């Protein structure tokens, strides 16, 4: 079985630094990236945050900030592969495209289909106003074009089974070429449930040559799903973007222990953890 590539998703877009210890500044992101790197991560997925006082919970598409963050992470983590976020709700997403064009990260997210992004509380109220995460085909095409023109790998974010099934149609119709890179986003309340039993079905729905991983959002089923992913030969992803808890229920304040636990999942499956140079070879970078 192939070596396991581990991605550290160090901060995310929704987590508030006033409530959780997610990195915001370039220096903080570099420090957290190094902790993930030392624990076995060869890819760092990051989100940009606004840098003003009290604004660290808000997203940013500042190109200079992106360059500063990427430089800081690369200096802290020699050979690391960077995966840039691109997720934007609504019709105004040019800034995200411009960020990829200007900075040319090795990989960039490409949200591959639309989803009603919902969560209901136990009292029957919405946790947030119902929201459409709109990723129509024309938008997906624009992101594919920009990411590929930047010599980056598009990572197709799939929130539901129909989106997984769409990836081969995208390739068949010429929207992209090459090996599909798929991220199964599991645990959004209105998307695919977070359960390891679903993984064999999802693998059958993917193109045969796809590389894949799981973003496991939540707590109770996170580590069983990660272990099943490792057992089935997938790439591995974990970080403060997706969970704050180890299998024993302990809450962490850094990405390092989460990536360490993911490396343990790989070893439990009889797989070694890929170094950054090995990951580059596997991904064709």
Domain boundaries, the chain: 6-283
Spacing of C-alpha 78 from chain mean position: 20
Helix axes of 26-39 and 255-268: crossing angle, nearest 10 degrees: 20
At 235, phi and psi to the nearest 5? Answer: -70, 165
pLDDT score recorded for residue 1: 59
Task: State the Cα–Cα distance between residues 60 and 180, nearest whole angstrom.
Answer: 28
- What is the pTM (predicted TM-score) of this model? 0.95
Whether the CB-CB separation of 232 and 200 falls below 8 Å is answered with yes
Torsion of Cα atoms, 143 then 79 then 210 then 40, to 10°: -120
Positions of the chain with pLDDT under 50:
none
pLDDT at 247: 96
What is the model's pLDDT at position 51?
A: 94
Beta strands 81-84 and 43-46: pairing type? parallel
Domain 6-283 belongs in CATH node 3.40.1190.20? no
CB atoms inside a 10 Å sphere around CB 2 = 13
Closest CA to 42 of 11, 78, 72: 78
What residue has token string 């229920």?
Answer: 249
Q: Are 59 and 27 in contact (CB under 8 A)?
A: no
Contact 237, 226 (CB under 8 A): no
CA–CA gap between residue 150 and residue 273 (Å, rounded): 28
Could you give the CA distance from residue 43 to residue 35 in angstroms, rounded to a whole number? 12
């Amino acid at each position: 079985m192939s070596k396991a590539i581990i991605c550290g998703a160090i901060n995310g877009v929704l987590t508030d630094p006033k409530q959780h210890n997610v990195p915001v500044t370039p220096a903080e992101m570099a420090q957290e990236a190094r902790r993930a790197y030392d624990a076995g991560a060869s890819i760092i997925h990051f989100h940009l945050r606004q840098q003003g006082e009290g604004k660290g919970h808000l997203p940013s598409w500042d190109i200079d900030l992106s360059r500063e963050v990427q430089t800081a992470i690369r200096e802290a983590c020699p050979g690391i592969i960077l995966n840039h976020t691109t997720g934007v709700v609504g019709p105004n997403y040019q800034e995200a495209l411009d960020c990829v064009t200007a900075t040319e990260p090795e990989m960039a997210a490409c949200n591959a289909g639309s989803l009603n992004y919902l969560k209901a509380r136990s009292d029957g109220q919405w946790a947030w106003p119902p929201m459409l995460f709109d990723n129509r085909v024309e938008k997906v095409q624009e992101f594919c074009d920009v990411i590929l023109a930047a010599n980056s790998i598009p990572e197709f974010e799939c929130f539901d089974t129909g989106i997984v099934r769409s990836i081969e149609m995208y390739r068949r119709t010429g929207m992209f070429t090459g090996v599909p890179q798929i991220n199964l986003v599991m645990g959004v309340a209105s998307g695919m449930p977070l359960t390891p039993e679903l993984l064999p079905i999802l693998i059958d729905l993917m193109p045969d040559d796809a590389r894949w991983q799981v973003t496991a959002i939540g707590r109770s089923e996170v580590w069983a799903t990660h272990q099943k992913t490792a057992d089935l030969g997938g790439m591995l992803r974990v970080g403060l973007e997706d969970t704050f808890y180890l299998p024993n229920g302990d809450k962490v304040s850094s990405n390092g222990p989460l990536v360490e636990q993911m490396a343990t999942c790989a070893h439990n499956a009889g797989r070694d953890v890929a170094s950054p140079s090995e990951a580059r070879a596997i991904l064709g970078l």
